[in-house]
Amino acid sequence: MIFNSITYTLFLLVVVTLYWFLPRRVRLVGLFAASLTFYGFWSVPFISVMMASVVTDYVAALRIDKARSERVKSAWLYASLIVNLGLLVFFKYYYFLSGNIEGIASMFGYEVGLPYIHIILPIGISFYTFQSISYTLDVRRGFIQPERDFVLFGVYVMFFPQLVAGPILRAREVIPQLIQRPAFATSNIAEGMRRILAGLFLKVGLADQIAPIVDEMYAQDPAYLGAADTLTMAFLFGLQIYFDFSAYSHIALGSAKLMGIEFPENFRFPYNATSPRAFWRRWHISLGSWIRDYIYLPLTGAKVEDRSTGGIATANGEVVLVSQTRARLALALFITWITMGLWHGAGWAFVLWGAWHAIFIQIQRVMPSSIGFLGDYSNKLLAWLITLPIMMLSWIPFRTQDVGQAVELWVNMMRPEKFLLMGFRENAYLVTAVLTTLTLAAPFVWGWVRDKILGRQYVGAFIEVAAISFIAIIVLVYLRPMNQFIYFQF
């Protein structure tokens, strides 16, 4: 089911109403059924793939807990990893792997004809397998006790608000909230509705409106584009994916909030970050935290955490630098980012995207954090001015999904004869400039409105109602499931 639809609005209304009236057991069964229905609207047969992951981790976690020997515990963990990663590799990476194997073999003069299988990527597979894996790993690490109630565990993995595009949550964060329903509060309903409206506005009012411009830009031959065009493409897609994905997170958080369930924030104005590392503390925070705890920190040998907040480069990751060799940390960083890239998509362009981030984070590690003669404010401004284009330009391979095209576009920026070439319609530059300005100003404007306006009794209420009305009008006018959320494909 797509969030930006009347179908979901109606579905949510029914589910939330029942949620607040049903007793615990029936409520959980209801959420389980609702989550299957939500997924079944996309594809009923693919529910079985998701259930395979759920059942495997449910059984594996119980077996790990029951086993006495470490070997048996590890064996069950590996079984879980094999099933989950096996599903992921088959559905997501088969074409990529088979293509590369055939390519490498032909380089050495061998003909390897791997069977062609028509594969449809199940939506959300990268999200629910990662969530499921984290649960089993946490049980193995002794962070949590296994959940014996299959329905409860199933709801944790498949809970519809976050099922197909996150946030990727830890069992410790969600299961207690599912067991103990909080008291009904109208403030939760109001907050949930506000978040959903904000998310729908970002999706149907912004992301979907700039999508055709982005599509047209990326359909053009890079040979006829200039330096400003590459930057425009990078910025506008950067904004599109931000609006699109943060919209999903807003709606997910809002939907859960309607049921009194708190999800951690997944975005915090990432384009205002003043370093690549800071960016990843603000962008897709739950994935960054997952990668940190299950890949990066284990690779560095540091203490692992159990929380989906903080993002990829958090405090412990920095503390550990003291006790590890620089080479090991750099290697861990690159492996982590290549994994991050491949998680997003099965292609070398995504590897390039990951490598780009690894390189700039590594550069940041060895660079001084500030320039002595500049003040704090100037240092921050300079850092932001450097960070923003670096982060935006990383989206080029991500969107082109073609290494050659991405490199050509990047190279365009370094060719003096292309500095003045402008290959798009005037509107593309205009829309990019306006939206970039508004996006960067948003946290400051929001802070000012929150501190100075909303606190005032009548004026605050009037402004708030007017703002929500405006957002609601845009949502009502543009609400239609025209475009999938971009992250559905991951």
Partner 1 sequence: MINLAKVIIAIAIAMLALTIGFGGGDIDTDEFALGTNNQLGVDRLDGQRVHCQALDTAGECIQASIARGYSKRLVWLGNSQLHAINQSGEGDVTAPVLLADKLRQHEIDAVSFSQPNANFLEHQIVYHYLKQKLDPEILVLPAVFDDTREEQIRDDILLGIQEPTVLQDLAGTKSLTIAQAEGGNYSGTSASERQNLQSIVEDELDAGLSSVWTGWAAREEARSAISIALYRLRNSILGIKPTSKRKKIPSRYIDNLLAFEQLVCNAVESDILTIVYIAPIRNDYAPPYIASEYEGFRSDVHNITRDCSAHFVNLENLVPNNLWGTKEATTVGGEPELDFMHFQFPGHVILADEIEKQVLSALK
Taking alpha carbons only, the member of 461, 443, 22 closest to residue 32 is 22
Counting contacts by CB under 8 A, is residue 2 touching partner 1? yes
Cα distances (Å, whole numbers) of residue 382 to 123, 349, 394, 487:
40, 29, 19, 31
Contacting partner 1 (CB under 8 A), which of 107, 183, 219, 327?
Answer: 219
Using rule CB under 8 A, residue 67 touches partner 1: no
Nearer CB in complex with partner 1: 21/78? 21
- Which among 86-94, 145-153, 218-226, 442-450 is the span making contact with partner 1, rule CB under 8 A? 218-226
Q: Which residue has the tokens 């998701």?
A: 50
Rounded to whole angstroms, the Cα distance separating 267 from 439 reads 13
User: Is 70 one of the binding residues for partner 1 (CB under 8 A)?
Assistant: no
Q: Which of 66-74, 330-338, 388-396, 457-465 is the region at the interface with partner 1 (rule: CB under 8 A)?
A: 457-465
Pairwise CA distance, residues 292 & 308, whole Å = 9
CB-hemisphere CA count at 13 Å for 175?
18
14, 216, 378, 452: which one binds partner 1 (CB under 8 A)? 216
Contact region with partner 1 (CB under 8 A), list: 49-57, 133-141, 251-259, 425-433: 425-433
222, 405 Cβ separation under 8 angstroms: yes
Output the smallest distance, CB 103 to partner 1, in A: 24
CA distance 259 to 278: 32
1 binds partner 1 (CB under 8 A): yes
Q: Which of 78, 224, 419, 444 binds partner 1 (CB under 8 A)?
A: 224
Distance CA 435, CA 238 (A): 11
Please pick, from the candidates 220, 369, 378, 437, the single residue that binds partner 1 as defined by CB under 8 A: 220
Rule CB under 8 A: which of 99-138 touch partner 1?
A: none
Residue 139-178 contact track with partner 1, rule CB under 8 A, x = bound: ----------------------------------------
CA distance linking residue 261 with residue 256, whole number of Å? 5
Binding-site member from 13, 17, 26, 43 for partner 1 (CB under 8 A) = 43
The answer to whether the beta carbons of residues 129 and 85 sit under 8 Å apart is yes
To which residue do tokens 């500049």 refer?
Answer: 374
- Which tokens sit at 368? 């001084």
Please identify, among the stretches 83-91, 276-284, 336-344, 416-424, the one whose residues bind partner 1 according to the rule CB under 8 A: 416-424
- Alpha carbon 185 to its chain centroid, in Å, reads 29
Tell me which of 168, 214, 253, 358 binds partner 1, using CB under 8 A.
Answer: 214
Using CA atoms, how far apart are residues 262 and 172, in angstroms rounded to an integer? Answer: 12
Position 211 contacts partner 1 (CB under 8 A):
yes
- Residue 433 amino acid letter: A
According to the binding rule CB under 8 A, does residue 186 interact with partner 1? yes
In the list 21, 215, 411, 433, the residue contacting partner 1 (rule: CB under 8 A) is 215
Residue 416 Cα distances to 227, 411, 419, 421, angstroms = 9, 10, 5, 10
CA 240 to chain centre: 14
Q: Which is nearer to partner 1, 180 or 186 (CB)?
A: 186
360, HSE (Cβ side, Cα atoms, 13 Å)? 22
Nearer to partner 1, 85 or 476 (CB): 476
DSSP string, 404-473: HHHHHHHHHTT-GGGSS---S-HHHHHHHHHHHHHHHHHHHHHHHIIIIITTSHHHHHHHHHHHHHHHHH
**Which residues lie closer than 8 Å to 375 by C-beta, 6 or more apart?**
none
Residues with a catalytic annotation lie at 344
For the CB of residue 480, give the shortest distance to partner 1 in the complex, in Å.
8
Q: What string marks each residue from 348 to 387 as x (binds partner 1 by CB under 8 A) or -?
A: ----------------------------------------
**Cβ-based nearer residue to partner 1, 38 or 143:** 38
Contact between 262 and partner 1 per CB under 8 A:
no
Q: Which of 303, 326, 415, 480 binds partner 1 (CB under 8 A)?
A: 480
The answer to the question of residue 461 lying near partner 1 (CB under 8 A) is: yes
Rounded CA Rg of the chain: 23
| Chain residues in the site for partner 1 (CB under 8 A) | 1-2, 5-7, 10, 40-43, 186-187, 189-191, 193-194, 197, 208, 211-212, 214-216, 218-221, 223-225, 240, 399, 421-425, 427, 430, 461, 464-470, 472-473, 475-478, 480-484, 486
